[in-house]
Amino acid sequence: MTLAHFLFDAKTLFLLLAMLIIIMVIANGQLLENLESDLGTHMIAEHAMFLSIGYISILAFEGILRGLFNTARQRSAASYTTKHSIWIQTLLISWTRFVRSAYIIASNGLILIICAIILVAFWHIPSIFDLSSYSQEIHLLQHFSFVMVGALFLLSLRQLGQSLVLFLIISSVGMMLLSGLGLALANERLYLPYSVSSHNTAGEYMLAISIAIALIGLPGYLIRRTLFHVGKFANNKSELNS
Amino acid sequence: MEDDESKTKVLNEYDHEHGPSPLYKISKNLSDLTIMFIISSVVFFIAAGTLAFVMRSIQSRIVFMTNPELNMGLFYAALTAHGQLMFFGFACMLTVGLSYYLLSKFAKKPLYSMSMAVASYALLNGGSILLIVCALMLFGAGWYNLMPLAFHPQNGGWTMFSATLFLVADTCIGIGLVIFCCNVIATVLRGRIAAGVQKSEPEGGSIFRASADYSDSGRIDLLPMHNLPVATRWVSLLGISSWFPRRYRKLVPAVSVVVVGIFVNSVALLSGTVGLFTQLGIGYSYLIDPQSNPNWLFAKDAFWFFGHPIVYFTLFSFLGAAYYYIPKFTKKTVPYDKWAYRSWPFYFIFTVLVFSHHSYMDMPNPIIVQMIATVASQAIIFPSALTVMTIMMYILRSRIRWNIASAFIVTGIVGWVYGGFAGAETGWWGTDVYLHNTLNIVGHIHLVLLMGSVLLGIGLVYSVIADLTKKKLGKTLGLIHLVTTIVGGFGLAFMFMYLGLFGVIRREAVIPDQFMWAMPGLLFFALTVGFGQIVFVYNLFRTLRRKQNTFEEDKFVNKQQKREIEEQNIIHTGETSS
């Protein structure tokens, strides 16, 4: 049994982990510093990267946990116990307890999403944003918060379902259009480290991204999900006919 | 036997002069609320119309107040309140009321919350009454509440209190509209909904059958209730499924096109209201701290982010209903028609994106915003043309049953088309530079609204009142209403457009001498429209107060139609009625 099989039970999780590593590398590299020199690219980079890291982290950790569980189950079925497997079983039990209690605390998806929105809004308050730009420690804390936001989004999406995804897509389009317009029209600096023209460019990026989401993202998601249901429906129908 | 009876009942629906409505019975509370919405809307219609008359009179140099400055102030107060009252007090009120009725009828389910419906009614009324109070206080910063003008009184002056009251009025209206949108979205997305009309899509090339038949499975009454998965439901509700290949289209249960119209309307407006609240927020923040230096251009753009969707808001629900009512008036059974659904995803996307064509003249706006507006303004022609073509195909070679309701609905489509031509013209950034501040734009909005969505709405009122109360509005008075509205409305709108092409500036109390010749004409057409509406109000209240008669269908079928039915009987039975 290879290490990969020991840790993971699906090939896709390899991909997710690889993406996570790549994003981490980019996040810590010179590239991010360059991106942060402009408000637009800074926001796009930070939102996209750290939210994805948070999102993927949950998926990856779940994959690892599932892999460990499967291995432990196989070993106990084969009555193959070593000091190593006993250690893993103890680890799994305590981890399961931790996860269970975490889920009990965060059983309401609505609370999770509200926490995520509050966190995002907090770091976008101009004075807080400026502070994070000047202090390295606070900047790191901001990045960590965005990772948390990504994780919270995933957890809340699972609990609240597809309606929430659609609501988030549509409301994000509306909010991005309007706040993008606000930045595009800004005639004074909102975030002090950046110039007015940088604000305007960031607004134009936001306008373009929101339109892309409205024209491509939303219909794409809806069609994909519908075809999934339609496919299931068609399969059931053919099974019934046969 | 029972089956035959129900089929006959369904078939008889086609012979109602007021147009067939689904058999699903809405609750008594909703029925009463719909009537209250209609009554409130016509009351505000008359109030807003009176303000139009005041404007026309002042422009014709009729003096209301001896102080010339106050006379000017009255013009701008009337200009402001006329726009907002027509939009919110009349058109939105009517749209909200009829949308509740249509939604419940065509989704075959009660509303998510009657309390929310009542709250939206109360807030819309409260806001509209405050608007009238503001007009009486001579508040005149334009119907789009142009900031910071609102806080810098002109023409004899309004008070800061009236400016604050205006913000409160708009807040009430905004909240009322948000409640409406949430109620509609919750009604449609929760629980089961009537769907499955796509199963009636004809296999062959013949899309529309010439007359009603028993297998009209496109009828809402024959649709089963479905519990659709979320994404599938959204795809169906936004009309996206109509663009699927036939194989997949057949598998996605399609809801009624009327529900699609109302849903698209609500979701688009909900996005738009963010703009209204942003503008109001900026206004309130300035009131609290006058030393603050808000970005007023952003406030204006934010208003139009809401201002354009609100124009479409008064149209979409009625347009959705027109897809159902017109084929029924033309006695064509319409099974699933993909073309009726195909325009809706485009309406949904472009109704918000076109907003910044209202601020083409504000040069500091970024080029990208103006480009998006130009592209979206031209792009929205596609779904609009699709709608017009589809409706024309329903009317083509049909034996349309001309009555007051159908005449109003068809005229509404015609008015909207003319208004759309003008809109396409001014939707070009380059053309708009020349026409933006002229009466041409006023002509465009009167064609789109007064002769478009308002006529569609009034046509539906003639049909809905008959369904709700089992009492028909008087035919002669209805005819007078129709003729005066068409003559006055088109006359007014086309004259505005003509004058605009010659550069007559809009929003001006004083008209240059060389164009004074047009003022008596404008006043005449305004009075003609006003007379028609007074006749309508009299007809409506007289009908509502009248004791309920038995609904004798024969009474409403004219001689020609009677002859047609007899001819059909001869064909079917081979015997003469004698």
* Per-residue pLDDT tens digits of chain B, which is 578 residues long: 455 555 555 555 545 555 567 778 899 999 999 999 999 999 999 999 999 999 999 998 887 777 888 888 899 999 999 999 999 999 999 999 999 999 999 999 999 999 999 999 999 999 999 999 999 999 988 888 889 889 988 656 788 999 999 999 999 999 999 999 999 999 999 889 988 888 777 766 555 554 444 455 566 777 888 888 888 899 999 999 999 888 888 888 999 999 999 999 999 999 889 899 999 999 999 999 988 888 899 999 999 989 998 999 999 999 999 998 888 888 776 678 888 999 999 998 888 888 888 888 888 888 888 888 899 999 999 999 999 999 998 888 787 888 899 999 999 999 999 999 999 988 888 888 899 999 999 999 999 999 999 999 999 999 899 888 888 888 899 999 999 999 999 999 999 999 999 989 998 888 889 999 999 999 999 999 999 999 999 999 999 988 765 444 444 444 444 555 444 444 333 333 32
Q: Residue A174 and residue A169: Cα distance in Å, rounded?
A: 9
Residue in B103, B110, B124, B107 with CA at minimum distance from that of residue B38: B124
Q: In the 8-state DSSP scheme, what is residue B216?
A: -
Mutate to test the interface with A, among B238, B243, B274 (most CBs of A within 10 A): B274
Chain B closest-CA separation from residue A149 CA (Å): 24
Mutate to test the interface with A, among B295, B362, B375, B382 (most CBs of A within 10 A): B295
Hey, are the CB atoms on A233 and B278 less than 8 Å from each other? no
pLDDT confidence bin for A6, thresholds 50/70/90:
very low
Residue A35 has pLDDT above 90, yes or no: no
Contacts of A206 in chain B (CB under 8 A): none
Residue in A64, A44, A42 with CA at minimum distance from that of residue A52: A44
pLDDT at A17: 63
Contacts of A201 in chain B (CB under 8 A): none
Considering only residues A158 and B154, tell me which one the structure prediction assigns the higher pLDDT.
Answer: A158
**Cβ distance B506 to B438 under 8 Å?**
yes
Chain B closest-CA separation from residue A231 CA (Å): 9
Which residues, numbered 135 to 164 in chain A, qualify as contacts with chain B under a Cβ-Cβ cut-off of 8 Å?
Answer: 161-163
Mean pLDDT of all residues in A84-95: 74
Mean pLDDT of all residues in A29-48: 70
**Chain A contact present for B240, CB below 8 A:** yes
Residue A23 has pLDDT above 70, yes or no: no
Chain B closest-CA separation from residue A216 CA (Å): 11
**Chain B contact present for A29, CB below 8 A:** no
Hey, are the CB atoms on B369 and A207 less than 8 Å from each other? yes
Residue A96 has pLDDT above 80, yes or no: no
Q: Which amino acid is at B408?
A: F
pLDDT at B201: 76
Considering only residues B411 and A6, tell me which one the structure prediction assigns the higher pLDDT.
Answer: B411
pLDDT at A80: 61
Mean pLDDT of all residues in A221-235: 75
**Chain A contact present for B232, CB below 8 A:** yes
Hey, are the CB atoms on A225 and B274 less than 8 Å from each other? no
Contacts of A178 in chain B (CB under 8 A): 274-275, 278, 302, 305
pLDDT at B577: 34
Nearest residue on chain B to A200, alpha-carbon basis = B366
Considering only residues A20 and B325, tell me which one the structure prediction assigns the higher pLDDT.
Answer: B325
Lookup: tokens for A84: 């190593």
Mean pLDDT of all residues in A48-53: 72
Reported pTM: 0.84
pLDDT at A100: 72
Q: Which residue has the tokens 């789009």?
A: B144
Q: Which amino acid is at B394?
A: Y
**Chain A contact present for B214, CB below 8 A:** no
Residue A201 has pLDDT above 90, yes or no: no
Q: Residue B160 and residue B279: Cα distance in Å, rounded?
A: 17
pLDDT at A16: 63
pLDDT at B578: 29
Q: Which residue has the tokens 């004219």?
A: B558
By Cβ distance, the residue of A174, A223, A230 closest to B274 is A174
Least confident among A137-146, A178-187, B60-69, B203-212: B203-212
pLDDT at B450: 93
Size of interface A-B (CB pairs under 8 A): 97
By Cβ distance, the residue of A207, A219, A227 closest to B345 is A219
Hey, are the CB atoms on A225 and B252 less than 8 Å from each other? no
Mean pLDDT of all residues in A215-240: 74
Chain B closest-CA separation from residue A70 CA (Å): 32
CB burial class (10 A; 0-12, 13-18, 19+) of residue A90? Answer: exposed
**Cβ distance B402 to B326 under 8 Å?**
no
pLDDT at B556: 43
pLDDT at B366: 83
**Chain B contact present for A211, CB below 8 A:** yes
Q: How long is chain B?
A: 578
Helices and strands per DSSP (H, E), number in chain B: 22, 2
Q: Residue A60 and residue A52: Cα distance in Å, rounded?
A: 12
**Chain B contact present for A227, CB below 8 A:** yes
Contacts of B278 in chain A (CB under 8 A): 178, 182
**Cβ distance A183 to A206 under 8 Å?**
yes
**Chain B contact present for A215, CB below 8 A:** yes
pLDDT at B212: 46
Nearest residue on chain A to B241, alpha-carbon basis = A223
Considering only residues A39 and A134, tell me which one the structure prediction assigns the higher pLDDT.
Answer: A134
**Chain A contact present for B368, CB below 8 A:** yes
ipTM metric: 0.70
Residue in B92, B94, B89 with CA at minimum distance from that of residue B44: B89
By Cβ distance, the residue of A162, A208, A214 closest to B231 is A162
